[in-house]
Amino acid sequence: MAEPYDRWHKKRPQPGEEKCRAHGKVPSSEHGRGKRWLARWRDPDGQQQSESFDRYEDARQHLTRMRGAVDDGTYIAPKNGDTLLKTVAEQWLANQTFGNPRTYHQYESRVRNHIIGPLGDLKLRQIKASTIQTWIKRRLQVLDGTTVGLVFTHLSSILTMAVDDDLIPKNPCDTGSVKRVKPRRSKKASKDVPLSWEQTDDLRKHLPDRYQAAVDCGRGLGMRQGEIFGFSPDDVDWSGDDKTVHICRQITHHRGTLVFAPPKGGAKDDPKDRRVPLDEDLATLLRAHMREFPAVEVTLPWLEKDGELVTVRLIFTTRERKALNKNYFNYLWKAALEAIGVIKAVNDKPVGKGRKWEECRDKMMHALRHLFASEAIKEGVDVYTLTDLLGHEDPAFTLRRYVHRVGDAAEKARRAIGRRYRVAE
């Protein structure tokens, strides 16, 4: 079996040549220069390849791996691993296609900021399981666990492509040590609804008058925040007893600019719009809101920063008659949460001028959708209908994330079973 070659000493010295004191061997012209041990093998094409090591054992193990890989057909040239991660990441990004250009921008932002930024200058062969573990730990210092989990899936996909392209033999993200520390992309919903109906009643009173009805669009129609901001009176069928709301747009950001877009996950060929029944009492409340704060025409690009300009009459706008920005609105929301005693501030600065609050992600405006879902289940709406009303595709996801324990549920179960037994008698 082939052995590593000793670069520092002659394999066939001449009689009488002086030996070096350190090793007791005749030195070569390369003695003491570079790494001593050279692993040499032939690749599947019969071309000689080599790599140097400081230690004999390292060279021997590498040589064994290379010869074994050639024999079993899994050989990957070590020089392929010299490819920079950022080169592969750029190629991976270029290959991503989405119906919604904003989705690509979100992928690009995550990859450039959190993968190429901290890891991009590393060679692929330098990225070990320990490298990924350290990266996860540092990302968790600046991002929440769900976002780190999402970025992790991008990194793993990039490295899987490198494996498929024969640049590296295996994906370090798939190792057991990494899987044990990688963050979960999502968390299970709490058993109890994040905000109760009574709490949202109180919260509503602490929002500015022009935004109070936004609470009812969330808990009464199951709208997301961006959908509430993009809600138009022209989306409502106000006639008859079967009033409905056509949820067909949201306001969101694309490259720092507010834009109109389809609801979450929507694209040109599949806009993900939906229709939700509108209760007469809620319709009356919305009419009263619009009498006090008439709808305002707002013009924004459609879908992307440079998209076609679209004008929509909006129910909720700023005092300056502009579209609502979530960053501004979230300050108002947190101030209202503080006012009703749900969260506490962590400094004394004024709202909108640097005031900060404790972590309250599950208490933000999206909690209204959770409340809508739980109230619907409480009143007997089946999960398949609720899934459609929320704009989900998987009823299991709706149950797992949006349905919470409701008050007196155990007693209701007791009464329901009791009725069945009374009927049997």
317 is a domain residue: yes
| 53 shares its domain with 92 | no
359 is a domain residue: yes
| 218 shares its domain with 345 | yes
- Looking at the predicted structure, is the pLDDT value of residue 57 above 60? yes
CA distance 329 to 211: 9
| 152 shares its domain with 203 | no
**Rounded mean pLDDT of the chain?**
90
Q: Which pLDDT does position 70 carry in this prediction?
A: 81
Q: Which pLDDT does position 43 carry in this prediction?
A: 84
- 332-380 tens-digit pLDDT: 999 999 999 999 999 999 887 889 999 999 999 999 999 999 889 888 8
Of the residues 15, 50, 75, which one is the last residue of a structural domain? 75
- Which CA distances in Å does 355 have to 141, 173, 335, 360? 21, 39, 9, 14
| 348 shares its domain with 204 | yes
Of the residues 59, 75, 91, which one is the last residue of a structural domain? 75
Interval 405-420 mean pLDDT:
62
In this prediction the pTM is 0.74
Q: Which pLDDT does position 184 carry in this prediction?
A: 73
Q: Which pLDDT does position 73 carry in this prediction?
A: 76
- Looking at the predicted structure, is the pLDDT value of residue 47 above 90? no
Contact 402, 373 (CB under 8 A): yes
Interval 13-19 mean pLDDT:
91
CA distance 297 to 69: 67
- 283-329 tens-digit pLDDT: 999 999 999 999 999 999 999 999 999 999 999 999 999 999 999 99
424 is a domain residue: no
- Looking at the predicted structure, is the pLDDT value of residue 186 above 70? no
DSSP string, 19-87: PPTTTSS-B-TTTTSS-SEEEEEE-TTS-EEEEEESSHHHHHHHHHHHHHHHHHT----GGGGGSBHHH
| 35 pLDDT tier (thresholds 50, 70, 90) | very high
| 159 shares its domain with 219 | no
| 309 shares its domain with 227 | yes
| 425 pLDDT tier (thresholds 50, 70, 90) | low
| 100 shares its domain with 242 | no
191 is a domain residue: no
Contact 303, 169 (CB under 8 A): no
CATH number, domain at 89?
1.10.150.130
Count of domains for the chain = 3
Could you tell me the residue range of the domain that residue 51 belongs to?
Answer: 5-75
| 336 shares its domain with 370 | yes
Q: Which pLDDT does position 405 carry in this prediction?
A: 65
Interval 2-9 mean pLDDT:
90
Displacement of CA 306 from its chain's centroid (Å): 25
Dihedral angle sign, alpha carbons of residues 195, 199, 203, 209: positive
415 is a domain residue: no
| 70 shares its domain with 94 | no
| 285 shares its domain with 392 | yes
- Looking at the predicted structure, is the pLDDT value of residue 422 above 70? no
- Looking at the predicted structure, is the pLDDT value of residue 169 above 90? no
- Looking at the predicted structure, is the pLDDT value of residue 272 above 70? yes
Dihedral angle sign, alpha carbons of residues 384, 386, 392, 397: negative
Interval 152-178 mean pLDDT:
93
Tokens standing for 150?
Answer: 């999402």
| 183 pLDDT tier (thresholds 50, 70, 90) | confident
258 is a domain residue: yes
Backbone region of residue 65 per phi and psi (left: phi > 0; alpha: psi in -120 to 50; beta: other values)? alpha
| 249 shares its domain with 302 | yes
Of the residues 127, 150, 179, which one is the last residue of a structural domain? 179
411 is a domain residue: no
Residues 6+ away with beta carbon under 8 Å from 36: 6, 7, 8, 52, 53, 54, 56
Pairing label, strands 37-42, 48-53: antiparallel
For the chain, give the number of residues. 425
| 209 shares its domain with 296 | yes
Q: Which pLDDT does position 79 carry in this prediction?
A: 83
CATH number, domain at 202?
1.10.443.10
DSSP string, 345-356: BSS-PPTTTT--
35 is a domain residue: yes
Q: Which pLDDT does position 267 carry in this prediction?
A: 82
| 417 pLDDT tier (thresholds 50, 70, 90) | low
